[in-house]
Amino acid sequence: MRRGRREAILALATMLAALAARPQRLNTAMHASACERLATLAERIAKAHVQLAQGVIADRSRRVLRDSEREFDALLPIVSGLAGDPEIHDAFALLALLWKELRAWARKPPTRENARQVSDRAEEVAWVASKAARLLKTDGTSQREGLAAMQAATLAQRVGRMQLARRMGVPDARRDAELADATAKLGSMLAALARSPHTLELEDDLRMAGTQYDFLLAAMREQAMGAGASAAELVAKTADYISDSMERAARLYENGDA
């Protein structure tokens, strides 16, 4: 990470920590899950780029890349415009700059090196968006669970991206530990949502996500044992299925259908 970017993100971390100590200044009009969706989209873009670099479901990956970029461009100004607190607004200004760089890299040819660069920048974007989302006030159980569901959607994309990236990188103990932590956290979040009271409509998505999580774990084990393209494709698809289910669940929670 270049020095200027590192210093900017460290400054943002300090600012967000200060905001956390003063919750009365947070903007309560903004849905935290909409902010977290920016993190989901950043991870989805990076995962699609990693897939393209490896020729994994290429046509679908190109479509996902295009659609996710379009949605991020449309959602960011809406979310930023709802951030009434000046300091939170500054955080979104930095997010816009980080997104501009991520988008530029995501448009480059899907080589392995470019995929690594896209992943690095997606992690920055996702970190800022998720941190801001956690600081935004959520009113009531439905909004809190809606945010949790969207956080699970982000994690599913991250786990898929990091698992697929292992196929084209040198062994990295730190990255392996991060992947293991994200995978375990995703499982815990899915289990917690499944245990919480919910409607029959939500039950379908929560059950689907849990089933696909089991498939994802199986595909990750196959890939670790040296399985080829079929395991990689299953990792990519199951991560998407989990994410899609959690995005639908988030909408149901926010609509009060929990």
Amino acid, res. 15: M
Q: What's the CA gap between 185 and 182, in Å, rounded?
A: 5
Q: What's the CA gap between 209 and 249, in Å, rounded?
A: 10
Q: What's the CA gap between 89 and 231, in Å, rounded?
A: 42
* Cβ contact 143:32 at 8 Å: yes
Q: What's the CA gap between 172 and 174, in Å, rounded?
A: 6
| pLDDT score at 14 | 58
Question: Cβ-count burial of 37 within 10 angstroms (0-12 exposed, 13-18 middle, 19+ buried)?
Answer: buried
Tokens (6 digits) for 59: 């046509």
Q: What's the CA gap between 65 and 10, in Å, rounded?
A: 29
Going 86 to 125 to 182 to 31, the CA torsion angle's sign is: positive
Q: What is the pLDDT of residues 90-131, one digit of tens each?
A: 888 889 999 999 999 999 999 999 999 999 999 999 999 998
All domains of the chain, ordered by start, with CATH? 1-137 (1.20.120), 140-258 (1.20.120)
The structure tokens 């809406």 sit at 78
Question: Cβ-count burial of 106 within 10 angstroms (0-12 exposed, 13-18 middle, 19+ buried)?
Answer: buried
Going 192 to 194 to 196 to 198, the CA torsion angle's sign is: positive
Q: What is the pLDDT of residues 6-26, one digit of tens each?
A: 666 655 555 555 544 444 333
| pLDDT score at 22 | 44
Q: What is the pLDDT of residues 43-94, one digit of tens each?
A: 999 999 999 999 999 999 999 999 999 999 999 998 888 766 776 778 888 8
The structure tokens 């690095």 sit at 120
| pLDDT score at 31 | 75
* Cβ contact 190:217 at 8 Å: no
Q: What's the CA gap between 163 and 166, in Å, rounded?
A: 5
| pLDDT score at 10 | 58
Residue 224: pLDDT band with limits 50, 70, 90? confident
* Cβ contact 133:41 at 8 Å: no
Q: What's the CA gap between 238 and 159, in Å, rounded?
A: 10
Half-sphere exposure of 96 (CA within 13 A, CB side): 15
Average pLDDT over residues 179-189: 97
* Cβ contact 33:254 at 8 Å: yes
| pLDDT score at 28 | 39
Q: What's the CA gap between 152 and 140, in Å, rounded?
A: 19
